[in-house]
Amino acid sequence: MQRCRFFSSASLHLCPSASLFHYIGTMRTDWAKVYTETYQDLVRFLHRKVWDADRAQDLAQEVFVRALKTDPKDPRAWLFTVANNLARDEARSAVRQKKHLVLLKGEADAKQEAAPHPTEEAERQEQVAAVREALETLAEKDQAVLLLWDAGCNYDEIADQTGLSKGAVGTTLARARARLVEAHRRLEGKNAASR
């Protein structure tokens, strides 16, 4: 078996890791800097998509693993595009898994046995659930604009991600906020009426 020599161009085709090493050496993107500047925004964006903090961090790590194999012109936009795709795949996978799970009853029983949360935590959880429910009633484009804005993306990045023109981002964002507020009010009224 031939040993991998990283600095020999003749061995690049013999050793995949050498090819990767060579490619990373020629990249323009400083992924360490991009990671430092973008990681928290990316996790926040993914958390709003999957509603699980640990899973959001795992997905963010996966995005950066994939990033090491590319050299995009706009790294931040590329990261959010990949993150959005991974979150969508995650949601599809979760739906498939839920169809096959028989353990839901066991989880519900375990939650009932758990100690009750303090009042403040329960109220906070209710608010988060209400906002999540209202957000899910919005069109996908409205959701995307709101989540990207919340993740710290600027108008150019939101335009790149959603396909909107830069001039339409502000208007779409304002309308999406208004729709979110209206959906939240409507759901609060519906929940209050059913009590």
The domain that holds 129 is classified in CATH as 1.10.10.10
Q: Are residues 143 and 110 in the same domain?
A: no
Reported pTM: 0.52
- Domain membership of residue 140 (yes or no) is yes
Q: Are residues 134 and 184 in the same domain?
A: yes
Chain-centroid distance, C-alpha 81: 9
Q: Are residues 26 and 66 in the same domain?
A: yes
Q: Are 63 and 82 in contact (CB under 8 A)?
A: yes
Distance CA 42, CA 153 (A): 10
- Domain membership of residue 84 (yes or no) is yes
Q: Range of 156's domain? A: 118-195
Q: How many helices (H) and strands (E) does the chain have?
A: 9, 0
- Domain membership of residue 5 (yes or no) is no
Q: What is the pLDDT along the chain (195 residues), one digit of tens a residue?
A: 443 333 333 433 444 444 444 444 556 889 999 999 999 999 999 998 888 899 999 999 999 999 988 888 999 999 999 999 998 888 777 655 655 444 455 555 555 555 455 677 777 788 888 888 888 888 888 888 888 888 888 888 888 888 888 888 889 989 988 998 898 888 887 766 665
Distance CA 138, CA 110 (A): 32
**How many structural domains does the chain have?**
2
CB contact burial 19-37 (16+ within 10 A = b; e otherwise)? eeeeeeeeeebebeebbee
* Final residue in a domain of this structure, among 86, 114, 142: 114
